[in-house]
Amino acid sequence: MSEEESSSNSSKQRTISESNGTFSHSLATPRRAYSATDPRLLFGKRSSISTLFEEEPFVHRGYESSDEERKRAREPVDKFRLIMLTLAMAGIQCCYAVQIGHGSPTLEKLGLPTELVSLAWLAGPLSGIIVQPIIGILSDSCQHPFGRRRPFLVAGTVFTSLALSLLGNADVIGYLFGDSVDSQPVGLAIAISAFFLLDFSIQAIQAPLRALLTDIVPEEQQAEGNALFAMMTGVGNLVGTAMGSLQLSFMLPFFVSDSQALFSLAAVILIITVSLCCYYVHETPVGVLSRSESFAQRFHSDQGILKLLVNAPRPFWRVFIVQLFTWYGFFTVFVYASVWVGRNVYNGNGAFPLNSPQLQAYDEGVRLGNLGLSLDAAVAMGYSTILPRLIEKYGMGFMYCFSQLVEAFCLVVPFFIRGPSQERSPSLSLKVLTLSILALFGIPWSSTMTIPWALMGTAVYRVDPNRIGLYSTFFNLSQSGPQLLVSLGSPRILKKTGDVSVVLLLGGLSAMISASLVYILRVYILENDETSNGSRLVSNHASFSE
């Protein structure tokens, strides 16, 4: 055996030893939590298994390019270019933030009944299930001189900006085509179409952007790049929700309404951030994938979908089940958080005529709701910096269950909050309570972006490390599935109750179930840790067991 082969085998043995022996400790340490500001993630050394849950669906290294391309050495990327690459994620998240904060209120003000608002949000899960795989396969095979990923970034930005412009100007366009103050069918149709276009086109940016990082950044910088992605996600979310809390039409009088200003500014931010990314980050055009190396061919040749799911490790399905109940709660927040503040806290109504006291109260409530969502983003960024240490001290299971209980609390309490019917504006204490509830959502949000993906990635890595990307794709269904349930089920609930807090309450009950399942299913225990001699995922730190 040559010296080179011996070194390679030795390296493989060390990797296997790490994955079987010391892996439980590495998960309990701070290195792989998605902390936006953790210097160990941003500037620290990359561990041998740090890609466990950094890989995104359809950009897994085994499926992204030909063998010749994968063998091609990649030059280190300087800090400035890496920041420019990840900056586009801030623009993407800013668009998501304004959609979450003002999407539902905009549809309500155009005349869509509250019980039907959630149907427009079907665009989100459908885009994740349908568009993301298609874009991933197409970008893998793209031979454009501009590169494989950047053409999709540019096209996605054009259509996303168009969608934002249509959403912000739907009422104005509707008036041009015969809408009146009392009836806006054209404006509503434009807004709903723009809603779907926004969700579908933004996927054409997000998936290729993740793939672009994998394509051009060398392996030793992947952890740093993903940490910057996490930080830019927090920044974009904070900027978008903060803008949504302001009376922008007063600050920028050349805009007709707050919605017009907000969606227009989000489009400008997206265009600037993606343009900087495309200008400073260059791709080397590559040859088209051979048929034997295409994503679809690899997927079907390795093993069928059903067989792959049947052979999934048990911890994968346990965390999957917990995520189903967790995300049912989260999506009720996405759809109804700002509507709840406008209706229940301020006793406003988005369906009333322009300049009416009810509509003014509703708009004021929506702005307060967006302020709460911006506090949510700030809390999530701050909590992510201490979460790794909390996991190390109290255990993965305890912190996972704790986050679900906080989510349940934040979703149940709104059911019991009612603004004063005789006053236009709620009291200061009620406003503080409302902001506190929304801000606390940052705790479960930060946790659910970290812990379940770590557990899933660890379980899959131990039994099938070559298919982490595929399993991540399936795991995404644990988030898309509940979104479909909320979108399709909420109309019936609201038709009977007329109260969005009931939908939030059901989300809270779902979060309670997820908290109990963390303990019942013992999701924090890995597959080969279930013997009496097996080591715990969280080592000897406190957890539910023993």
35, HSE (Cβ side, Cα atoms, 13 Å): 23
Please report whether residue 221 resides in a domain.
yes
* 297 vs 162, higher pLDDT: 162
Question: For the segment 456-505, what is each residue's pLDDT rounded down to a tens digit?
Answer: 877 877 777 666 656 776 787 888 889 889 999 999 999 899 899 999 99
Q: Quick check: is 463 in a domain?
A: yes
Domain of 143, in residue numbers: 82-302
Mean pLDDT value across the chain: 78
Q: Domain end: 278, 302, 326, which one?
A: 302
Encoded tokens for 3:
């010296």
- Predicted pLDDT at 499: 93
* Separation CA 249–CA 102 (nearest Å): 14
Whether 376 and 286 map to the same domain: the answer is no
Report helix, strand or coil for 533. Answer: coil
> Is residue 314 located within the same domain as residue 363?
yes
Q: Report the C-alpha gap between 362 and 440 in whole angstroms.
A: 23
Shared domain for 404 and 447, answered yes or no, is yes
**Residues 107 and 195 reside in one and the same domain:** yes
pTM (predicted TM-score): 0.72
Residue 71 lies in a domain: no
Q: What is the mean pLDDT of residues 403-411?
A: 97
pLDDT digits (tens, 9 = 90+) for 215-227: 788 867 776 777 7
Q: pLDDT for 14-45, tens place per residue?
A: 443 433 333 333 333 333 333 333 333 333 33
**Token pair belonging to 27:** 């998960």
**How many other C-beta atoms can be found within 10 angstroms of the C-beta atom of residue 211?**
23
Clarify whether residues 390 and 537 are in a common domain: yes
Q: Assess if residue 460 is contained within a domain.
A: yes
214-219 long-range CB contacts below 8 Å, 24 or more apart? 214/55, 214/59, 214/61, 214/64, 215/64, 215/65, 215/148, 215/149, 215/283, 216/74, 216/77, 216/85, 216/281, 216/283, 217/74, 217/77, 217/82, 217/85, 218/74, 218/75, 218/76, 218/77, 219/46
Same domain, 250 and 373: no
Q: Are residues 115 and 175 in the same domain?
A: yes
Q: Is residue 195 part of a domain?
A: yes
* Tally of domains in the chain: 2
Considering the domain architecture, whether residues 270 and 365 belong to the same structural domain is answered as no
- List, for residues 122-159, the tens digit of each pLDDT value: 888 888 778 777 777 777 777 788 888 899 999 999 99
Based on the fold, state whether residues 264 and 149 are members of the same structural domain. yes
Instruction: Tell me whether residue 8 is in a domain.
Output: no
State the angle between helix axes of 150-168 and 185-216 in degrees (0 to 180), rounded to the nearest 10: 160
- Residue 460 and residue 325 share a domain: yes
Residue listed under structure tokens 């979460």: 387
The full 3-state SS of 361-397, as one line of letters, equals HHHHHHHHHHHHHHHHHHHHHHHHHHHHHHHHHHCHH
> Residues 37-65: pLDDT tens digits?
333 333 333 333 333 333 333 333 333 34
pLDDT at residue 34, rounded to an integer = 34
Residue 95 lies in a domain: yes
> Are residues 211 and 339 both part of a single domain?
no
Given 302, 320, 344, the domain boundary residue is: 302
Domain termination site, one of 245, 269, 302 = 302
pLDDT score of 365: 93
Mean pLDDT of 279-296: 60
Question: Quick check: is 46 in a domain?
Answer: no
Residue 443, pLDDT score: 94
According to DSSP H, which parts of 245-356 are helical?
Answer: 248-251, 258-280, 295-302, 305-310, 314-340
Side chain identity at 406, as an amino acid letter?
V
Both 334 and 396 in a single domain? Answer: yes
Instruction: Indicate which CATH number applies to the domain containing 441.
Output: 1.20.1250.20
- Span 100-112, mean pLDDT? 91
Q: Give the list of residues 6+ apart from residue 17 with CB closer than 8 angstroms, or none.
A: none
| Residues with Cβ within 8 Å of residue 177, at least 6 apart in sequence | 186
Longest dimension (CA), the chain: 86
pLDDT tens-place string over residues 315-359: 889 999 999 999 999 999 999 999 999 999 999 988 788 778 888
Mean per-residue pLDDT for 412-439?
89
For residue 211, pLDDT over 80 is answered with no
Q: Mean pLDDT: which of 391-400, 466-475, 537-546 is highest?
A: 391-400
